[in-house]
Amino acid sequence: MSSQASVSSILSEGMSVLAHRARNAAAHSKPHRFCKANAETAHALSHWRYHLNQWVLDWLQNEGYTTAQKILEREKWSIRKKRDYANEVVDTMEQKGEIRALYRDFKHNLEAAREAKVGLKF
């Protein structure tokens, strides 16, 4: 599994767990503050997902992957060649420590969300 897939998988799994917990909280008639906390956490993570996408787009632009000439060049490539190239780009991101930094940011956001929920009591 590529690092990009790993980050996406972790993010999707985290959001699925939070959505499940929010549904479960509503189904079991827990106090409103718990549902609200779960919804706020899921919402914050959805914003992080948006910012992750923006960060990747900015990184690609700063590294020169999105110039008009390079985009036109890749337009002619086969799907397999595009996939292999995308994996090479992700490998480059990993070698430069970008994937680790993104994961650290995600982990920090997840921990902050968990800590915010810890203060809630019945």
85 to each of 31, 61, 65, 82, how far by Cα in Å? 50, 16, 11, 5
- Domain-by-domain residue ranges, the chain? 3-118
Q: Is 75 exposed, middle or buried (0-12, 13-18, 19+ CB in 10 A)?
A: exposed
| Statement: residue 48 has pLDDT above 60 | yes
Q: Which residue has the higher pLDDT, 88 or 24?
A: 88
Per residue in 62-118, pLDDT tens? 999 999 999 999 999 999 999 999 999 999 999 999 989 988 888 887 787 777 666
How confident is the model at residue 115, as a pLDDT? 73
| pTM, 2 dp | 0.59
How confident is the model at residue 122, as a pLDDT? 42
